[in-house]
Chain A
């Protein structure tokens, strides 16, 4: 399966600031997915990032709040903008395990705390 890294692994931020999370994969993938996991909760899809096109956002998530970049087939960033304490969550990227499978493999996650 793919090796996925995320940076930073954790951060503590002040409200009103922004944080950019990086996701790096060791192989080329068409689709990359960004999820949010609030404390003690399930995983919620934020958006799907397809290289060469605008990200597709799920209901309740907007580009102004969560801008995403996908400059190439191995890298993506998610920015959490104008943060509030409600944004405190774990943010995970995921990729399909292969081009022919539906299975997704998750990165280690970024634990964000907003004060």
Chain B
């Protein structure tokens, strides 16, 4: 099955700096890559996603890049703010038996220091 690795497990940045989280996946059939943000005690919430036919996608301060050949994708957060502090999960999704099966990475705890 699919295996998603995520690095780093923790990340501390100064407010205003950039943060980068990297993930790799194993199954070349994966075709959809969402990123979720989970604040303490809350449900995971989608912040951005990218499909396998796109190399990069940006939404304000957040961007995601995908390298299908190398099977890795990254989340970039610019001009970080304290409210960006949370756990971020990458995920890889592929069609399995008629539905999209999502495999999550291990998570990155981001701390933005004011």
Q: Which residues of A contact B (CB under 8 A)?
A: 31, 33, 41-45, 48, 50, 56, 59, 92, 96, 102-109
Contacts and interface: CB of A to CB of B under 8 A. Distances in A.
Contacts, number: 44
Given A102-B32, A103-B49, A42 B43 contact: no
A104 B109 CA distance: 21
B1 A42 contact: no
A43 B43 contact: no
B104 A42 contact: yes
Interface residues of A, dominant DSSP: strand
Contacts of B49: 102-103
Given A92-B43, A102-B49, 16 more contacts: A33-B102, A41-B106, A41-B107, A42-B89, A42-B105, A42-B106, A42-B107, A43-B44, A43-B89, A45-B101, A45-B103, A48-B101, A102-B34, A102-B93, A104-B34, A106-B43
A103 B99 contact: no
Interface residues of B, dominant DSSP: strand
B43 A108 contact: yes
Contacts of B34: 102-104
A109 B43 contact: yes
A108 B99 CA distance: 22
16 contacts: A41-B106, A42-B107, A43-B44, A43-B89, A44-B104, A45-B102, A45-B103, A48-B101, A102-B34, A102-B93, A102-B100, A104-B34, A104-B46, A104-B102, A105-B46, A106-B45
Contacts of B97: 56
Contacts of B103: 45
Contact of A106 (B1, B44, B99, B107): B44
Nearest to B34: A103
